[in-house]
């Protein structure tokens, strides 16, 4: 009997230590590894030591979980290699405010359950280990992967807000290496503006002399520079931008500057300015 009590106390200590590291939640596999049998789990549930959050996932001690605890519980409920993603990832990474409703979790594979109570499951085959990081000890998609996922489900305003927040937090989004080869979300939006208003497709991020132009129409010798937050970095950036403009104009290029506000809130005027420059050339 003393040996059993000692074993039980050791298991309780291990479970408590694990829960403290995991925002108050553990899953059945972890309980078994700590020496708690299935019958022991049932007894702890009945006595109020464990509180069922999802199938095979429990809160330890009480059911009042933090938001981080609810996120991790959802990930644990979805099995190995499950990862917080989409809007829930954006909330954890502080790209968007947290919303009520199901928690978004991505899992590998293309078959299986589509949802669980309180969880929205995203099945995918393309999520690699490089797409996953740890934040607050919770597996979550990287900022770059999260932004890519938001493109499919978020409104344009939400997407812009999330991307602006990555800039504020200094997070890498990988926008500079996307298939469009754009260096910022503003440039991505400008390419969409060109397509919508039937402007010729420009070359992107082209070296001209000692400078790199955001967009170039080579035959018409027109350059468009999209000025986002970089335009407000200080006097050195201001001087660099004007030196670039002088050099491009000396080489015979017409330079058009467009701001984030103009591209996003006055796209017709922005497209008209570009069209006028192309006609002049």
Is 70 exceeded by the pLDDT of residue 163?
yes
Check pLDDT > 60 for residue 183.
no
Residue 231 clears pLDDT 70, i.e. is over it = no
Residues 10-39 have pLDDT tens digits of: 778 888 899 999 999 999 999 999 898 999
Query: How do beta strands 83-84 and 115-116 pair?
Result: unpaired
Q: What is the pLDDT of residue 87?
A: 96
Q: Which CATH class is domain 185-280?
A: alpha beta
Q: How far apart are CA 215 and CA 204, in angstroms?
A: 5
pLDDT band at 180 (very low <50, low <70, confident <90, very high): very low
- Condensed to tens digits (0 to 9), the pLDDT of residues 60-73 reads 988 789 999 999 99
pLDDT band at 281 (very low <50, low <70, confident <90, very high): confident
pLDDT value of position 112: 60
Which two tokens mark 177? 């290496």
What average pLDDT does this structure show over 226-242?
Answer: 54
pLDDT band at 113; cut points 50, 70, 90: low
Mean pLDDT of 94-119: 85
- Quote the pLDDT of residue 160: 83
Q: For residue 77, what pLDDT is reported?
A: 95
* pLDDT tens digits, one per residue of 114-123: 668 899 999 9
Which range has highest mean pLDDT (10-24, 107-121, 164-178, 226-240)?
A: 10-24
Residue 49: pLDDT band by 50, 70, 90 thresholds? very high
| Residue-averaged pLDDT of the chain | 85
Residues of the chain with pLDDT > 70, as a percent, come to 85
Decide if pLDDT at 9 tops 80: no
Q: What pLDDT sits at residue 178?
A: 41
Please give the Cα distance from 82 to 276 (Å, whole number).
51
Q: If pLDDT is split at 50, 70 and 90, which confidence band does 91 have?
A: very high
The predicted-structure confidence for 237-279, as pLDDT tens digits, reads as follows: 455 667 788 889 999 999 999 987 788 888 999 999 999 999 9
CATH 3.40.960.10 residue ranges of the chain are 185-280
């Amino acid at each position: 009997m003393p040996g059993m009590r000692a074993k039980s106390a050791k298991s309780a200590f291990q479970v408590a230590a694990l829960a403290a590291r995991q925002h108050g939640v553990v899953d059945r596999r972890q309980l078994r590894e700590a020496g708690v049998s299935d019958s022991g789990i049932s007894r702890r549930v009945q006595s109020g030591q464990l509180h069922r959050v999802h199938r095979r996932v429990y809160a330890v001690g009480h059911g009042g979980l933090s938001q981080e605890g609810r996120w991790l519980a959802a990930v644990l409920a979805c099995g190995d290699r499950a990862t917080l993603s989409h809007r829930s990832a954006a909330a954890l990474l502080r790209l968007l405010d947290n919303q009520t409703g199901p928690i978004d979790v991505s899992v590998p594979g293309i078959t299986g359950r589509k949802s669980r109570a309180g969880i929205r499951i995203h099945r995918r085959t393309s999520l690699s280990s490089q797409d996953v990081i740890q934040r607050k000890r919770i597996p979550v998609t990287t900022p770059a992967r999260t932004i890519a996922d938001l493109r499919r489900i978020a409104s344009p305003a939400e997407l812009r807000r999330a991307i602006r927040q990555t800039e504020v937090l200094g997070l890498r989004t990988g926008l500079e290496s996307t298939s469009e080869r754009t260096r910022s979300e503003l440039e991505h939006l400008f390419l969409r503006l060109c397509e919508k208003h039937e402007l010729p497709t420009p070359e992107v991020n082209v070296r001209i002399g000692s400078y790199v132009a955001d967009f170039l129409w080579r035959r018409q010798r027109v350059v468009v520079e999209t000025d986002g937050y970089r335009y407000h970095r200080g006097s050195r950036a201001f001087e660099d931008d004007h030196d670039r403009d002088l050099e491009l104009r000396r080489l015979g290029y017409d330079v058009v500057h467009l701001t984030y506000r103009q591209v996003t809130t006055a796209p017709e005027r922005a497209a008209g300015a570009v069209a006028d420059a192309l006609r002049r050339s």
